[in-house]
Amino acid sequence: MNCKAYGLILFVVHLFCMTENVAGVNFINIQIIKSDTLKLTLYELVLQAKANSIAAKQALTIKETNYWKWRTYKSNYHPQLALTGILPGYNRTYAQVLQPNGTVAFQPIHNDNSSLKLDFSQSIAVTGGTIYGTTELQRFNDFDRSNVLYNAIPYGLGYTQPLMQFNSLKWDKKIEPLKYNESQQGYIESQEKIAVSVTDYFFDLLLSQVNLHLAEMNLSNTGKILKIANTKFELGKIATNEILQLQLEEVNAKKAVGAAKRDMEIASLNLRSYSGIEGDERIVVIMPEAVHDIDISIDRVLTEAVENRSDAIAFVRRIAEARRDVAKAKGENGLVATLKANLGFSNAATHLWDVYRSPKTQQSIELQLSIPVLDWGRSKSRTKTAEANQQLVSYEVEQDKQIFKQQIVTQVTLFNMMKEQMVLTAQADRIASEKYKIANERYILGNLSITDLSIAFEASDRAKRDYITALRDFWGAYYQLRYLSLYDFEKNQKISYK
């Protein structure tokens, strides 16, 4: 063996030792450690987005708005107490007064007409009527004549009852609780929708990080292989074309590093913007593992979805609203009557306390009627329109139920397929990595062409990216199932946000 051949062997062995670990690196365990680096798992990022993202704040605002709408509805069934008055009611002017002979005289007016009134009312949901009570005091002071008069209603009670009319309170009692429960579940759905969205941003950044690592690793390996090739070229072992091919590979690897850095910055900015992460630390996401011990069945997801989803509540609400509209259309047709009755006491005097001594009784009762004599079929048309719409809503709800069920069946099937796909892509990644390592060793020893090495290199990179894609599909399908069912399959409990 001559000196040059011996030197070449030592050089190859040295470079092989340097590149052995690089070629066989398991990219899953890559960790970038810097003092200014923020490392996040998928779970941590989901929690961050649910707490600080703009979407989370919007969802919370909608939840609060719906809560106060609910409080407004509840107040309609509670007693109402209102104080009104005119204090003072001072007036100084001239008023036109018609005289007995038909002429007009302008009389000076200088008085204070003040009043204070306390009203009580209570709606009755069963009948749609209203009970009310009142007490009132009025003071009239005529300054020109130095005359003071008092008028008072010590107390009065009344009742108003619509007859054969639409009872909105009765229907609100059926529909408004459904709306409120729907909004509560809708808030949970919005939180889980955030998890679905932020998962996409997480894997965008993860894939860009992996691409950057692969590009840097490939650049390093290409540079080292190029050194070996140059030595072989000097010894006449390879042709110029192979050197040029490796030089081209090195240039392309440098370009890939630059493109990967750009993509990672964009992905990091998008993730930071959506999830509401402040600060200027570098964000590094940690690759999650697939959870293989989660067993999700279609029947289980359907059961939880029917119990938890706002869509399931909306199906009932939409049917109830359609029935309400029919009742309203019928209630506004034909005879419309309102019965009003009140009983109380009133009095007038020149001194304040005299108005409360021996007050006079007052009663009133009236029945207001409205009967359409000729409406050219308008009432009947309104009723028929409402009934047709009720039927249409019934068909739409049935169709939406089928879509709702099919969506869940499809997603569960997809999730279970992703679990199997994860196993296969992980195996493919290990095999491709091993093949690339062997191909790299064979090229160094001169038993493989540069073309075959490039093929092995591309297959290894493709297998790693396929694994990331499969992992992305797995977690995307998992969080989509949480969104569709509002159920935590890892903790085996319903999802709630108090």
pLDDT band at 372 (very low <50, low <70, confident <90, very high): confident
Q: Is the C-alpha dihedral spanning 464, 468, 473, 477 positive or negative?
A: positive
Fold of 3-70+172-320+390-494: Outer membrane efflux proteins (OEP) (1.20.1600)
Q: What is the CA radius of gyration of the chain?
A: 41
Report the predicted TM-score, pTM, of the whole model to 2 decimal places.
0.79
What mean pLDDT comes out for the span 176-182? 95
Q: Give the pLDDT confidence score for residue 190 in this predicted structure.
A: 95
User: What is the residue-averaged pLDDT of the chain?
Assistant: 85
Q: Where in the chain is the domain with CATH 1.20.1600.10?
A: 3-70+172-320+390-494
DSSP state of 281: P
Count of Cβ atoms closer than 10 Å to residue 7 Cβ: 12
pLDDT above 90 (res 465): no
pLDDT band at 37 (very low <50, low <70, confident <90, very high): confident
In angstroms, rounded to a whole number, what is the distance separating the alpha carbons of residues 431 and 343?
Answer: 94
In single-letter form, the type of residue at position 329 comes to: A
Query: In the prediction, which pLDDT does 294 show?
Result: 81
Residue 440 has pLDDT above 90, yes or no: no
* Alpha carbons 221 and 132: distance in angstroms, whole number: 89
**Which of 120-134, 278-292, 342-356, 446-460 is predicted with the least confidence, judged by mean pLDDT?**
446-460
Q: Cα–Cα–Cα angle for 393, 396, 401, nearest 5°?
A: 125
User: What are the beta bridge partners of residue 362?
Assistant: 344
pLDDT at 292 over 80: no
Confidence of residue 17 (pLDDT cuts 50, 70, 90): very low
- Give the whole-angstrom CA distance, residue 263 versus residue 205: 8
DSSP letter assigned to residue 369: E
Nearest by Cα to 203 from 45, 29, 76: 45
> Which band of pLDDT confidence, cut at 50, 70 and 90, is reported for residue 374?
confident
d(CA 21, CA 26): 9
Q: If we measure between CA atoms, which residue out of 432, 414, 402, 386 comes closest to residue 171?
A: 386
Q: For position 450, what pLDDT does the model report?
A: 66
Task: Write out pLDDT tens, residues 53-94.
Answer: 999 999 999 999 999 999 999 999 999 999 999 989 999 999
Confidence (pLDDT) at 161: 93
- Calculate the CA dihedral of residues 253, 456, 217, 427 and round it to 10 degrees: 140
pLDDT digits (tens, 9 = 90+) for 159-169: 999 988 899 99
358 close to 347: Cβ distance less than 8 angstroms: yes
- Which of 445, 428, 429 has the alpha carbon at shortest distance from 19? 445
Distance CA(465)–CA(461), nearest Å, equals 6
Q: How far apart are CA 462 and CA 478, in angstroms?
A: 24
Q: Is the pLDDT at 31 greater than 70, yes or no?
A: no
What is the pairing mode between strands 360-370 and 487-488?
unpaired
Sign of CA dihedral 229, 233, 235, 238: positive
